[in-house]
Every structure is written in C-alpha cells, then in structure tokens.
Amino acid sequence: MIFPTRSIMYLVKARANTIIKAVPEQSALLTPDQKIAFPIGQDVAVLNYGDIEQSRNHVRVCFDMASLPSDRDSVAAAIAQTKQATWYLWPDHVEISGTDPNNKPRDLNSSQPGRSKDPAMDYEFRLPGFNSIFNMANPIIKDGRMFWYEALHFDPGTRSYRPPEDTVVVSKIVALAEQIEGLIRPTIKQRFGIDSIICNSWYRDPATNAAVGGSTQSRHMWGDAIDFVVPGISPYDVNDILEPSANGGLASASVFTHWDERGYLARWSYGF
C-alpha cells in the first residue's frame, strides 16, 4: 500500500533520549556519521513524515533543509550539516504534532450502531485472505460490540460498502476492534458511566478518503483509525480521558474524537 507523503510542517519531539538515524537500523549497527543525538524534551520541525509500515518499523521524517540553522549548537544544526534531508526515528521515543490544514474529514456512517440483529444488516461478503464468508451483522471480534457494517460503512439501502484493499487492512481493522473493546470502551465507561460508541468513520479506501477530505496519509486507509462519538459527551472530554492511554494518534474536533493505532504518539486538532 503506497500513499503520498505528507507535505506540511510538523513538529517532532523526543519523549526519551534517542537517536536520529540516517537509515532504519538498530543504533548499534550505525556508524557515528549515521546518527545524531536527540535529547529528551527537544523538538525540531519536519516538513513531512511517513508511517512505520513503509520504513521497517521506524518513523521516516524529512527536514526542510533550507530552513534549518547551521550556525548553532543544536539538533537542527547537526542535521543541516549532514546535507541529508531524510532520517529515521524509533517510534516509541517520539511524538509528532500537527496535521495537514486540509485534513477536514466529513465522513458519516449510514449504518445505525447497535442494530446487529436488524435484517437489513444481514449481508454476506468476503474478505481478502480468507476463504470463509462473513456477515455485516456480525461483530468484528467475538463478543464485541463493533460490527463489520460499521467498519466497512455498509449501506443497507444500496448494499454498497468499502471492501478492504488487502489482508493488512483486515488485520488492522480487527486489531482496532480489540483495542476499542479492551481499552477505549472500558475507559469511557469508568469515567462517564456509559459505554456507547457511535462510529462516524472507520475504513476508507484512498479514493473515499480523498472524497471526504481526509489527510493524504490518513490511518483510516490502513483500517486502524476510527472517528467516533459518545452520545451526550463532548468529544473534547472524551479526548481528555483517553489521552493517558493513547499510544498512537489522538485528536478531536467539535463533532468527534479520532483514535488510531499508528504505533507512535501523534496529536493534533482539526480546528472545527
């Protein structure tokens, strides 16, 4: 799966003493000129970045070389002196903030949450990599409360849905469903006393993502992102109580909370 690289300025911050690497390898395998110390708490602007699936479990970042200072003792100056724009970071050690200003998704799910027994949702389909037949009315995981019709945006009127592109997308949809049932839903219930989650947006193929105004490298295209609402609760309040446990992407708008499983910390606001 190949997506366009992000092309807006972001900020990457060190959450631990770490190394900026010239290649995505273990630090012990790198020569001194292939690594730059990145102390905890320091940050540096990046022009764009790529997801870990495309960089051997490292976050790929690209610096705007023209804007980096070269006359100061800093991480940015050290990068500028190398003349190399693309570097790599271990995902557990960094947090990236900021988003594409055009990232203003307006996606809605035509299905009604909680209606797993509704005959209209009784629709058989296949998933890449599996010989068995699935049903939109079934939960994604055993005893779960998130259903395939929500993840794939099944429209009972037209019988249309968003077929996962490959087995990677399917596995990430399942992993996110496990995270919702094992972490997100219990956290919400403990704080607010309710555990209803309404899915606004889950899987988007690249064409759909572009059509609804998603980021050019949205995690929704991987299947491991969800925009959701907790009835009667402000998305900002939901964001606040999930913040300590969100090890991937977490963002909020006035109308939904975004959660994704990208594998490294990312935070932003949609601005609407």
169 occurs within a structural domain: yes
Residue 142, token pair as written in the block = 């055993």
218 occurs within a structural domain: yes
Whether residue 226 contacts residue 202, with contact meaning beta carbons closer than 8 Å, is answered with yes
Q: What are phi and psi of 102, to 5 degrees?
A: -90, 5
* CA distances to 48, 55, 226 from 21, in Å: 16, 12, 31
Specify whether the backbone of 23 is left (phi greater than 0), alpha (psi in -120 to 50) or beta.
beta
- Nearest alpha carbon to residue 1 among 169, 216, 249: 169
**Whether residue 138 sits in one domain with residue 261:** yes
**Whether residue 173 sits in one domain with residue 40:** no
Q: Do you know the residue count of the chain?
A: 272
**Whether residue 198 sits in one domain with residue 81:** no
110 occurs within a structural domain: no
112 occurs within a structural domain: no
**Whether residue 171 sits in one domain with residue 75:** no
**Domain containing 188 — which CATH number?**
3.30.1380.10
pTM of the model: 0.86
111 occurs within a structural domain: no
Q: 133-150, pLDDT tens digit by residue?
A: 999 999 999 999 999 999
**Whether residue 138 sits in one domain with residue 53:** no
**Whether residue 166 sits in one domain with residue 129:** yes
Q: 163-193, pLDDT tens digit by residue?
A: 999 999 999 999 999 999 999 999 999 999 9
109 occurs within a structural domain: no
Specify whether the backbone of 50 is left (phi greater than 0), alpha (psi in -120 to 50) or beta.
beta
Domain ranges, residue 127: 119-269
Q: What are phi and psi of 92, to 5 degrees?
A: -70, -15
106 occurs within a structural domain: no
For residue 133, give the 3-state DSSP assignment: coil
* CA distances to 10, 90, 140, 223, 239 from 171, in Å: 29, 23, 11, 8, 25
For residue 21, give the 3-state DSSP assignment: strand
Per-residue pLDDT tens, the chain, 272 aa: give them. Answer: 333 444 457 889 999 999 999 999 999 999 999 999 999 999 988 888 887 777 788 999 998 887 777 666 688 888 988 889 999 999 999 999 988 877 888 887 865 665 555 678 899 999 999 999 999 999 999 999 999 999 999 999 899 999 999 999 999 999 999 999 999 999 999 999 999 999 999 999 999 999 999 988 899 999 999 999 999 999 999 999 999 999 999 998 899 999 999 999 999 888 77
Number of domains in the chain: 2
Contacts of 52 (CB under 8 A, 6+ apart): 58, 59, 91, 262, 263, 264
Domain closes at, from 97, 129, 146 = 97
**Whether residue 135 sits in one domain with residue 90:** no
3 occurs within a structural domain: no
